[in-house]
Structure 1
Amino acid sequence: MEKVNMIGFIPMQRRFPTQALAVALLLAVPAMGIAQQAPADLNAGDVNAPVISAPSAPMRLIPSVDAPMPDDGFVGVNNFAATDLPPPALDALPPVTPVVVELFTSQGCSSCPPADAMMAKLADQDGVLPLSFHVDYWDYLGWADSFARPEFSARQEAYARAAGERSVYTPQLIVEGVDTAVSPGPAQLMGLIEAHQMSPALLNVQRRKQDGSDLIELMPLSDLEGQVDVSLIRFLPERRVEVRGGENDGRFITYTNIVLGMETLAKWDGSAPLRLNVRAGQAGEGSFPDDTRHVILVQIGLAGSELPGAILAAIELD
């Protein structure tokens, strides 16, 4: 199967100084170990299926909540189009949404702890949002990952299908939904992040708070060429876990920005502005820890499929 070239999607403009992050990573994070490939192929009958070791489960969906929005009082995000030249000076730029770095990891993977440590360093940097998705296909090794969900394994599998890959593995980093790297060093990772920080925008985001809700308007700046999924992500800032079985038996590992769940708020064709009234605590209220944080991901799907493509915006709600 010919590999899908997803680099052509143009993500949002983000400009942040990256030298400090590169230095911090080089000094504080060891090189990541060899990526650990998933075990036996359960899709042997499908020559185009990536290698996975657990069946996929459908994502939970919640209905979108639409409400009229005033035309003023919003905080603008990326309020200039790709054709605006020259760009504003660095200190005059409007607020921007962060570059999303997804890590697919597992408490049962001996190659993953260096990648988990790298995520902790990324979380300290402006303009970057790391998200840790724990997969469940290493649970058979003797330790069931306490954060793993089949939905997250299914998300990684979807990325593999989009890229024409035949296998999934841990640790795997995916930047903005389009760039992937196997066990990258800090320099390679920073190169990917910086490229997205300097890319022009496809989407304008406006947001304001009212009566405990986040009122959000998304406006396309160009043809988005596909269905756009607007999802609410819930995640924990940090947890330290004692692993008492499997390949990491006896280790204490700190995990950062641990995703607890994804809920679809809307599916959007991008032909007209989309307005949302979001109350992050409404759905599933009481079933998540008090320190749970929330972000809205706006992600395009590859044309004619349900496979994930470029992340157009990440709107942090708290």
Structure 2
Amino acid sequence: MAARLFTCFARGGGGSRGSSPVENAAATADLSLEEQKRCGPVLVELFSSQGCATSPGAEAIATRLGRGDAGLDVPVAVLVFHVEYWDHVGWKDPFGSSMWTVRQKAYVESLRLDTLYTPQVVVHGRTELVGNEEEKIVDAVRAAPRFPSPTMKATFSKPSPSTLQVSFSGALRSKVDSSGADVMVALYESGLVTDCTKGENKDKVLSNDYVVRRLEKVASVKDVGPKKSLTGTVTLELWEGFNAAKCGLLLFVQNGSYHTFGTQQYQIPDTV
């Protein structure tokens, strides 16, 4: 059954599906030039696995996108979700989680896809592509709608050595209608290096950036204007070896269709 449900793509294979570039361009055109300059990054999510032979190439593309080395004039925020459904082929991904598989399945449903696969990229929750097709990913980022970045101030504290608490307050700067939306925050880690001794990537040294370690909901909202002040607090469980200098936070707003309507990035203070 796994062979039918899960596919590990090689190069090629597929193009993109989701919102059309025309629709996306129209959404962005509703903003003035000055507003577009204040827009937040386009969210690029990569679903990946250390147990998939073609995922390391996609991880390298994700790193270039996140560092601004992909030749784009559009800011990009990258989140990499390591799924666990390739663990059975010989290598257990240390960052894999069934929670990220559930998130990927939600995209399969919302984008009306036939199957899960790695490496898969989802751009702003609207378009999906094979994760190692860099040129198509860059085109999809350029075509993605732009939205004002939230102005949520973050306050950090550590209630205990193993938890990080973050309180947010401010405005989303995008209107949320009666359908509602969730304000989410992801804690990610970069600079990860793994010696892979088994599986499809046996004897390779794997480098991973923007790996999501925690994902929490700050608030659920509906019928709020772009200037309304909101508050919310999350408590994030930390892991052994947590290093704030290697980590970052991304706040983003998504509706029930998993469309992203705003992103805001944060550095974690050295004092935490």
Question: TM-score range, shorter-chain basis?
Answer: 0.7 to 0.9
- Equivalent residues in 2 for 1:257-276, closer than 5 Å: 257-272=210-225, 273=228, 275-276=230-231
Q: 2:155 & 2:82 partners in 1: Cα distance?
A: 34
Instruction: For residue 264 of structure 1, report the CA deviation from its aligned partner.
Output: 1.3
Q: 1:268 & 1:141 partners in 2: Cα distance?
A: 41
Which residue among 93, 96, 118 is the counterpart of 1:170? 118
Instruction: For residue 131 of structure 1, report the CA deviation from its aligned partner.
Output: 1.1
- Equivalent residues in 2 for 1:123-142, closer than 5 Å: 123-125=66-68, 127-142=75-90
Task: Give the number of equivalent residue pairs.
Answer: 229
1:156 has 2:101 as partner: no
Give the AA of the match of 1:39: A
More strand by share: 2
Which residue among 31, 39, 43 is the counterpart of 2:2? 39
Q: Deviations over 1:213-241 (max 9, x none)?
A: 542222434x6462211112111022011
Contact 2:150/2:263 (8 A) holds in 1: no
1:217 has 2:171 as partner: yes
Which residue among 114, 128, 141 is the counterpart of 1:180? 128
Partner of 1:312: 261
Change (3 A) 1:288 1:111: same
**TM-score computed with the length of structure 2 as normaliser:** 0.74
Higher relative contact order (CA 8 A, sep 6+): 1
Partner of 1:14: none
Which residue among 142, 145, 148 is the counterpart of 2:93? 145
Q: 1:207 & 1:249 partners in 2: Cα distance?
A: 43
- SS of residue paired to 2:2: coil
Instruction: For residue 40 of structure 1, report the CA deviation from its aligned partner.
Output: 4.0
Contact 1:238/1:258 (8 A) holds in 2: no
Instruction: For residue 129 of structure 1, report the CA deviation from its aligned partner.
Output: 1.2
Partner of 1:11: none
Which stretch shifts more, 226-235 or 144-153?
226-235
Give the AA of the match of 1:220: S
Q: 1:186 & 1:290 partners in 2: Cα distance?
A: 30
Give the AA of the match of 1:109: C
Change (3 A) 1:214 1:230: closer
Contact 2:40/2:149 (8 A) holds in 1: no
Contact 1:214/1:317 (8 A) holds in 2: no
Give the AA of the match of 2:231: L
Instruction: For residue 268 of structure 1, report the CA deviation from its aligned partner.
Output: 1.2
More helix by share: 2
Which protein is bigger by CA-based radius of gyration? 1
Partner of 1:207: 152
Partner of 1:29: none
Change (3 A) 1:139 1:209: closer
Give the AA of the match of 1:255: N
Partner of 1:101: 44
% identity of equivalent residues: 23
Instruction: For residue 113 of structure 1, report the CA deviation from its aligned partner.
Output: 1.1
Change (3 A) 1:251 1:189: same
Change (3 A) 1:313 1:277: same
Partner of 1:110: 53
Give the AA of the match of 1:138: W
Q: 2:3 & 2:156 partners in 1: Cα distance?
A: 51
Could you tell me which runs of 5 or more consecutive residues in structure 2 were left unpaired when the two chains were aligned. Answer: 8-27, 69-73, 158-166, 268-272
Give the AA of the match of 1:88: E
Partner of 2:202: 249
Contact 1:242/1:252 (8 A) holds in 2: yes
Contact 1:102/1:130 (8 A) holds in 2: yes
Partner of 2:248: 293
- SS of residue paired to 1:283: strand
Give the AA of the match of 1:245: K
1:120 has 2:63 as partner: yes
